[in-house]
A and B are shown apart, each in its own frame.
Chain A
Amino acid sequence: MLSNDSQLPASPPRSNAVLAAWTLCQRELVRFVRQRNRVFGALGQPIIFWLLFSEGLKARDLGYRYFFPGTLVMILLFTAIFATISIIEDRREGFLQTVLVAPVARWAMVLGKILGGSLIALVQALAFLALGWLTLGISMSVGGLFAVTLLMLIIALALTSLGFVIAWRMDSTQGFHAIMSVFLLPMWLLSGSFFPAGEKGILGWIVRLNPLTYGVSALRGLLHYTGEVPEATPIASVGMSWMVTCLFALAMFALATWIAKTRTTGDLL
């Protein structure tokens, strides 16, 4: 009979953080594609919103072009939410446990989830952008398209990370929906997507302090149209908007990595 040691490998395989992050990201993408209703839900609502708001408020000089960047961000937000609700599902379904006892660094697990969610969000936003290009006469150079894609990815990373932070401590999706209505949707509404920025008073301040506002502003700056340009006073310079957005993403990701190290009783099934 062979002894233990000659049968087993001399040392176990060394786990690789990048591979782990990539595999978890890939899992998100595959799961998304296999759930048709998620695909339609995530795109359908923003499109309807866009149509309704634009048609409804056409008379007041706010039209389809005005609401377009905000709708793009709404798509990013919604997909980010769906992606992070899946954390709660993962926990309920037990999948999360196997990841937690695997020899994987926590940040790799967080990155995999967030990257997966962000990529899904980005693809949907790009699909909507294509729709806008067909219907609104958006003119953009290749460089411009690259910039828009990059910017949307950064916003997606920020929002998915934020969703992660919220979802990690939650045990039920009902709780998450409550947070969504009370916090995330107002965050979007007060980001210059809807109310023009530069208002006076408390609303104005919230808009100014909301990091998402800068993302929307930067996005607006990148979308050029043939013909008339919608009037919207930018909240800050282009450089400033990009910087705030990037910092927002970094801060949220750091927060997500930190919170993933804490345990909740919800981990335990």
Chain B
Amino acid sequence: MSAAPAIYVEHLVHRYGRRLAVRDLTLRIDRGEVFTFLGPNGSGKTTLFRVLSTLIPQQAGRVRILNEDLSADARRIRERIGVVFQAPSVDGKLTVAENLKHQGHLYGLAGSRLRERSGEMLARLGLSDRGNDRVETLSGGLRRRVELAKAMLHRPQLLLLDEPSTGLDPGARSDLWRYLNEVRERDGVTVVLTTHLLDEAERADRIGIMHQGELVALDTPDALRATVGGDAITIRTNEPQRLAEAIGTQHNCLCMVVDGGVRLEQPDGHQWIPRLAETFGDQIDSITVGKPTLEDVFIDRTGHQFWDGQNEQQETANDE
């Protein structure tokens, strides 16, 4: 197995005008991994995706994809990567087979080799009986499959997907992940995707959590969760600052205010409920205890909740 990583990024920076979308990002993704960039809208993961998929040129830093330098020869990289964009990229007026045909031609596949590969892709993605249907007649889930077929037609070693579950029902999502795992197991393809869905991120080998252009966490899901010191206890109250201080003093523990709620992390969280209710019951509107989730990891590292009004604003600025 080759030792060169699938993706190697060093000090990547990207700006839109004056706005910094990606700040000094460094990471390495190994071959055969399923890697997910997790982040809310505006975190910079889409920008990162655009750079890695060669859609936009890199501005600063070093990027090597499949052992090729991105700034030197994008073409060689393009030949060996498959890309599935968030917005549907199939031609609705053409049939499934025609879409694959044109895609194949763009990648240098032609004639019998193309026909063979197309047939193979259609079979693997369960589209064999829809080959002659116009794509506009297909459901969202099937269209996604056509896009996967298009992306994998030329047998790339790296598959990049941007928010692949967008618009898919749970059944279709399941199918998608089954396929992604299959290409990894069977063909050794490295799969890299971006998502804002916390439960989807759990399925990856490793996750890179992004926030405001920075990589704030990078590890396996289990390892990340283990970094959260115990269960997460969240309290809704009228005066969070006051309550947080009071609890912190009373129980000699770290108690923070996160986005208007009081939050502490303690092992055996369930034992804290009666403890806190007894002392502060009249100030507590609601109290929740949960095993650490990726959202807790996010809160831990950034001090913000995953879904944040602030993040939405970032996203609109991005579009300008």
A, B from the same assembly: yes
Do B79 and A97 touch (CB < 8 A)? no
Do B103 and A98 touch (CB < 8 A)? yes
Do A8 and B157 touch (CB < 8 A)? yes
State the Cβ distance, B218 to closest chain A Cβ, in Å: 24
Query: Which single residue of chain B is at the shortest CB-CB distance from A11?
Result: B79
Do A269 and B86 touch (CB < 8 A)? yes
Interface string of B88-106 (1 = CB under 8 A from A): 1111111000100111011
Do A97 and B89 touch (CB < 8 A)? yes
Instruction: Please report whether the interface of chain B is mostly helix, strand, loop or mixed according to DSSP.
Output: loop
Report chain A residues within 8 Å CB of B157: 4, 8
Known A-B contacts A15-B79, A98-B103, A101-B53; the reply to A269 vs B87 at CB < 8 A is yes
Binds B, one of A19-27, A76-84, A190-198, A233-241: A19-27
Known A-B contacts A8-B155, A8-B157, A269-B85; the reply to A3 vs B150 at CB < 8 A is no
Which of B83, B92, B110 lies in contact with A98, CB distance below 8 A? Answer: B83
Would you call B263 an interface residue if the criterion is a C-beta within 8 Å of the partner chain's C-beta atoms? no
Report chain B residues within 8 Å CB of A19: 105, 108, 110
In the assembled complex, the Cα of A233 lies from the Cα of B38 at a distance in Å of 70
Do A93 and B92 touch (CB < 8 A)? yes
Do B55 and A102 touch (CB < 8 A)? no
Known A-B contacts A3-B1, A98-B85; the reply to A103 vs B90 at CB < 8 A is no
Query: Which single residue of chain B is at the shortest CB-CB distance from A12?
Result: B79
Do B78 and A102 touch (CB < 8 A)? yes
Do B155 and A9 touch (CB < 8 A)? yes
Known A-B contacts A4-B188, A98-B89; the reply to A20 vs B50 at CB < 8 A is no
Interface string of A2-34 (1 = CB under 8 A from B): 011101110011111001101110110011001
Report chain A residues within 8 Å CB of B55: 97, 100-101, 267-268
Interface string of B32-55 (1 = CB under 8 A from A): 100000000000000000100111
Would you call A37 an interface residue if the criterion is a C-beta within 8 Å of the partner chain's C-beta atoms? no
Would you call B145 an interface residue if the criterion is a C-beta within 8 Å of the partner chain's C-beta atoms? no
In the assembled complex, the Cα of A259 lies from the Cα of B1 at a distance in Å of 42
Would you call A226 an interface residue if the criterion is a C-beta within 8 Å of the partner chain's C-beta atoms? no
Which of A5, A16, A35, A94 lies in contact with B108, CB distance below 8 A? Answer: A16
Which of A30, A35, A97, A99 lies in contact with B106, CB distance below 8 A? Answer: A99
Would you call A265 an interface residue if the criterion is a C-beta within 8 Å of the partner chain's C-beta atoms? yes
Interface string of B275-292 (1 = CB under 8 A from A): 000000000000000000
A→B interface (CB under 8 Å): 3-5, 7-9, 12-16, 19-20, 22-24, 26-27, 30-31, 34-35, 93-95, 97-104, 263, 265, 267-269
- Contacts A13-B113, A23-B101, A101-B78 given; 7 further ones with Cβ under 8 A? A3-B188, A13-B109, A16-B105, A24-B106, A93-B88, A101-B81, A268-B56
Which 8 pairs show the lowest CB-CB distances between chains A and B? A23-B105, A13-B108, A94-B87, A15-B108, A269-B87, A103-B78, A102-B106, A94-B89
B→A interface (CB under 8 Å): 1-2, 31-32, 50, 53-57, 75-76, 78-81, 83, 85-94, 98, 101-103, 105-110, 113, 150, 154-157, 187-188, 319-320
